[in-house]
Amino acid sequence: MLKVVGGSSAKHIAFEVAKELNTEYIMVNTRKFPDGEKYIRILDDHIKGNSYAVIQSMYRTPDEYLMEYFFITNVLKTHGAEKIISFIPYFPYARQDTEFNPGEPISFKIIANLIENAGTDILYTFDPHLHRIKSLSDLFTIKAQNISLIPMIVRYINNNYNLKDAIIIGPDEESEQWTQMAANEIEIEYDILQKVRHGDYDIELKPRNLEVLNRDIILIDDIISTGKTMAETIKVLKDQGANKILAAASHLLLIGDALINLYRAGADVIIGSDSIPSPVSQVKCAPLIAEILKKM
């Protein structure tokens, strides 16, 4: 039997997954001891022989959520869980994937090892911030798969907003993988911004191939953190005559005043998934997770 467990960061997702699968949602009691140590207790008297989908997103306080995840998976394995299928919608420490300076940890690899050693059998994550490591199989010995939320997000936009002569734009070359994916999903044009140098101190940002004048824009990236890059991109597109701008990303960290700054820059709509809960996290991860589990 498959049961669903949600860590503190993803109870809303886990409960929706269990409801969609018509299976049991297992509660986890969590609290902190006076010295700050984490206590957990899984409220399931029949662990042995069952499989578990464990859902925990590692945003904003990743160390705390990681420790909770390790405890949950280890308890399940220790008590005889047959298989643990883990979903980490927002994967932490992916930026530190090499030793940039002597004495630094390769955090991405260390976290991958800890997740495996805790008892994880299969891992799914959504749009991790991959740079030099191109595939999760380079880090994990267990089955580990990256699935993009971008197709689901751009379908949501296409179905809910009446866009005029729309084009998908990425803020830089790194975003092209997501803009191309989004464009293929809803069959419209895409482009990315590039720097055009007119002199030593005169640099212009403009789309590589397409004009944006009087066109609606779906602006795509994997993550909006401080929002500075996205805000600058929105200003550039507005200056070049873009009509409506919808800024979208898989993960919305929205640190500080990022959300209001995006609106001030000229964004009409901001959309992301609920991998990180926010006022604009309109696209739910639960249906995608349920679909993966059904196929398994």
The CATH number of the domain where 67 resides is what?
3.40.50.2020
Question: Model confidence over 59-92: pLDDT tens digits?
Answer: 999 999 999 999 999 999 999 999 999 999 999 9
Residue where the block lists tokens 């997770």? 289
> What's the pLDDT score for residue 138?
85
Number of domains in the chain: 2
In contact, 227 and 258? CB cutoff 8 Å: yes
**Is there a single domain that holds both residue 170 and residue 67?**
no
Catalytic positions are 195
**Is there a single domain that holds both residue 49 and residue 28?**
yes
Average pLDDT for the chain: 93
**Is there a single domain that holds both residue 24 and residue 96?**
yes
**Is there a single domain that holds both residue 189 and residue 289?**
no
- Range 189-199 average pLDDT: 75
Query: What residues have CB less than 8 Å from 133, skipping those under 6 apart?
Result: 97, 108, 139
Question: Model confidence over 205-254: pLDDT tens digits?
Answer: 778 878 899 999 999 999 999 999 899 999 999 999 999 999 999 999 99
Whether 121 is in a domain gets the answer yes
Residue with more model confidence, 240 or 97: 240
pLDDT value at 55 more than 90: yes
**Is there a single domain that holds both residue 128 and residue 228?**
no
> What's the pLDDT score for residue 47?
98
**Is there a single domain that holds both residue 261 and residue 289?**
no
Strand pairing report for 38-42 and 28-32: antiparallel
pLDDT band of 95, cuts 50, 70, 90: confident
**Is there a single domain that holds both residue 26 and residue 128?**
yes
> What's the pLDDT score for residue 201?
47
- Range 141-151 average pLDDT: 96
**Is there a single domain that holds both residue 9 and residue 144?**
yes
> What's the pLDDT score for residue 71?
98
- Range 24-31 average pLDDT: 97
In contact, 207 and 193? CB cutoff 8 Å: yes
Residue where the block lists tokens 């669903």? 4
> What's the pLDDT score for residue 133?
73
Which range marks the domain in which residue 8 is found? 2-148+284-295
> What's the pLDDT score for residue 130?
76
> What's the pLDDT score for residue 204?
58
The sheet with strand 203-207 has its strands ordered as 203-207, 190-197, 167-170, 217-224, 245-252, 269-273, 281-283
- Range 32-44 average pLDDT: 96
**Is there a single domain that holds both residue 77 and residue 42?**
yes
Whether 30 is in a domain gets the answer yes
Whether 279 is in a domain gets the answer no
Other Cβ atoms less than 10 A from the Cβ of 119: the count is: 20
Whether 178 is in a domain gets the answer yes
- Range 126-133 average pLDDT: 82
**Is there a single domain that holds both residue 22 and residue 141?**
yes
**Is there a single domain that holds both residue 127 and residue 166?**
no
**Is there a single domain that holds both residue 7 and residue 142?**
yes
Separation in Å, CA 111 to CA 106, 108, 252, 275: 9, 5, 22, 19
> What's the pLDDT score for residue 105?
93
